[in-house]
């Protein structure tokens, strides 16, 4: 049956995350096994989901991956859950382009045939609340909006006025409401929040939120809407993700509070291609694991721990040697920074980094880049031949210096059609700000493992 409900909204900031977390916590208190999903390229909101549900949350993205991949991810990850709660992104119809539904929450709701609850801001509204809902119902005939959640109500009476209007004109129930100020303020979803979440510093916030949701939402009605679903059908054999019977190579994966932004699917694809993943913590002073044949330095926020990271001289030396020996290394965003010569924080303090590249990174007070990226490799790399097309996303507050003689690894077109280059490539090193999603081109995992195999063979021959 796969009970599921998708929480969407009219726009960003309307309260989707607050509602999603509150519902997750409220249903978890009913001893239901809740599985979280997040639409779009987001690493932070899934961390909130995990803290509440005690289960890993997964991204669903129809632009970076295929429809079949979205279906398989949902089916596999929800099969032992009582209820799946999917958090949308931006507005219901917002995606890659204003002229289509590509990459939108609406598209994901169609692929998963999921009932949706629409969150709207009713501040200053009464009957007009029905007009908002009506517009979202009718923009696309296939919209499965089965209920409405009212946010920013001035009072219980105000919420009732809007509820009556919506139910009269839109013929769907209002399943709950939130008044201004009656829920705890959602902590700013910044990168540095994640360790505090995992250490339990926001348990009281989550508990208070669940109490409010339980009082002001009809959980039984929401459950009833969630179970009126049919199983998602998918082609179980479209992509063989069975792990190799034996590991061909060992890839070291940086994983700690400073580096932990990885698409789970990337790691799965590497394992299926024959990689044994060995995790290590740069932040705790750990070096590369013995006998590794490749290194994966994911995203995160090294700026929060720049001083501690700068003291790990042994790792820096190992990374320089690995690059000189042509060990395959992939670095994304935070990992890209780690490979640089230095990192300057917003307070002006500069810390040395690994020095694999001569690039200098500067943290900025404002967002430097955000958005989907479809990149093409400028030269042949460990990820594939020249011209390989990959998809991913970019989100960072830092900027990098490009040195004369450095070769960029990727090129892509900006929203206005101009071609831009970024990143760094040198022999076996590929580093950039782009968080690649391997499912956009699954062969990339096989190509990387193949490059690691070639390195391993060379290393063994040298030892003999």
Of the residues 116, 170, 333, 409, which is catalytic?
A: 333
Cα separation values, 89 from 12, 119, 316, 352, Å? 7, 12, 38, 37
**What does the radius of gyration of the chain's CA atoms come to, in whole angstroms?**
23
Query: 3-class SS at 380?
Result: coil
Architecture of domain 249-463: 3-Layer(aba) Sandwich (3.40)
Its CATH architecture, for the domain 4-226, is: 3-Layer(aba) Sandwich (3.40)
Quickly count: other Cβ atoms within 10 Å of residue 138's Cβ: 11
Collapsed DSSP state (helix, strand, coil) of residue 325: coil
User: CA nearest 17: which of 209, 262, 257?
Assistant: 209
Please tell me the distance from the alpha carbon of residue 228 to that of residue 271, in angstroms, as a whole number.
36
Model pTM greater than 0.85?
yes
pLDDT tens column, 153-192: 999 999 999 999 999 999 999 999 999 988 777 666 555 5
Annotated catalytic residue 170: no
C-alpha to C-alpha distance for 119 and 151, rounded to whole angstroms: 7
Look up residue 421 and give its two tokens.
């280059």
CB 354 within 8 A of CB 360: no
Domain limits, the chain: 4-226, 249-463
Q: Hey, do 4-226 and 249-463 end up sharing a CATH topology, with the first three levels equal? A: yes
Confidence of residue 197 (pLDDT cuts 50, 70, 90): low
Residue 445 has pLDDT above 90, yes or no: yes
Q: Is it the case that residue 317 has pLDDT exceeding 60?
A: yes
Is residue 414 predicted with pLDDT exceeding 90? no
- The percentage of the chain sitting over the pLDDT mark of 70, rounded to a whole number, equals 93
- Please report, for the chain, how many H helices and E strands are present, in that order: 14, 24
Under DSSP, the state recorded for 342 is E
**24-50 tens-digit pLDDT:** 999 999 999 999 999 998 888 888 899
């Amino acid at each position: 049956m796969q009970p599921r409900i998708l929480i969407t909204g009219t726009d960003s900031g309307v309260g989707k995350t607050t509602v999603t977390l509150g519902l997750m916590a409220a249903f978890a208190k009913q001893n239901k096994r809740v599985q979280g999903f997040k639409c779009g390229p987001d690493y932070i909101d899934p961390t909130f989901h995990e803290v509440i549900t005690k289960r890993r949350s997964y991204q669903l993205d129809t632009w970076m991956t295929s429809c079949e991949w979205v279906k398989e991810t949902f089916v596999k990850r929800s099969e032992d859950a009582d209820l799946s709660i999917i958090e949308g992104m931006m507005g219901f119809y917002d995606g890659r382009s204003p002229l289509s539904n590509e990459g939108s929450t609406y598209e994901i709701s169609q692929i998963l045939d999921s009932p949706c609850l629409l969150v709207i801001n009713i501040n200053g509204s009464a009957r007009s609340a029905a007009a908002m809902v009506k517009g979202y119902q009718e923009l696309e005939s296939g919209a499965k909006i089965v209920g409405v959640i009212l946010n920013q109500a001035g009072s219980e009476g105000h919420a009732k006025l809007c509820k009556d209007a919506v139910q009269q004109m839109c013929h769907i129930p209002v399943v709950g409401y939130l008044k201004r100020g009656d829920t705890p303020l959602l902590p700013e979803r910044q990168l540095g929040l994640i360790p505090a979440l995992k250490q339990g510093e926001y348990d009281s916030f989550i508990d208070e939120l669940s109490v409010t949701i339980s009082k002001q939402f009809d959980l039984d009605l929401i459950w009833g809407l969630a179970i009126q679903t049919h199983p998602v059908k998918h082609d179980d054999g479209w992509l063989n993700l069975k792990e190799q019977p034996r590991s061909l190579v060992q890839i070291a994966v940086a994983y700690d509070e400073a580096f932990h932004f990885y698409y789970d699917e990337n790691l799965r694809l590497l394992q299926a291609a024959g990689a044994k993943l060995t995790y290590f913590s740069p932040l705790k002073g750990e070096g590369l694991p013995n006998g590794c044949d490749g290194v994966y330095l994911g995203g995160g926020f090294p700026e929060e721990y720049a001083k501690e990271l700068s003291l790990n001289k042994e790792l820096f030396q190992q990374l320089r040697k690995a690059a000189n020996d042509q060990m395959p290394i992939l670095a994304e965003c935070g990992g890209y920074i780690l490979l640089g010569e230095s990192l300057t924080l917003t307070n002006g303090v500069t810390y040395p980094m690994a020095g694999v590249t001569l690039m200098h990174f500067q943290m900025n007070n404002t967002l430097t880049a955000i958005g989907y990226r479809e990149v093409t490799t400028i030269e042949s790399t460990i990820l594939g031949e020249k011209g390989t097309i990959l998809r991913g996303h970019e989100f960072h507050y830092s900027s990098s210096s490009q040195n004369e003689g450095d070769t960029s690894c990727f090129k892509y077109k900006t929203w206005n059609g101009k071609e831009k280059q970024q990143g760094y490539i040198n022999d076996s090193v590929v580093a950039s700000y782009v968080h690649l999603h391997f499912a956009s081109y699954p062969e990339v995992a096989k190509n990387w493992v193949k490059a690691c195999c070639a390195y391993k063979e060379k290393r063994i021959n040298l030892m003999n």
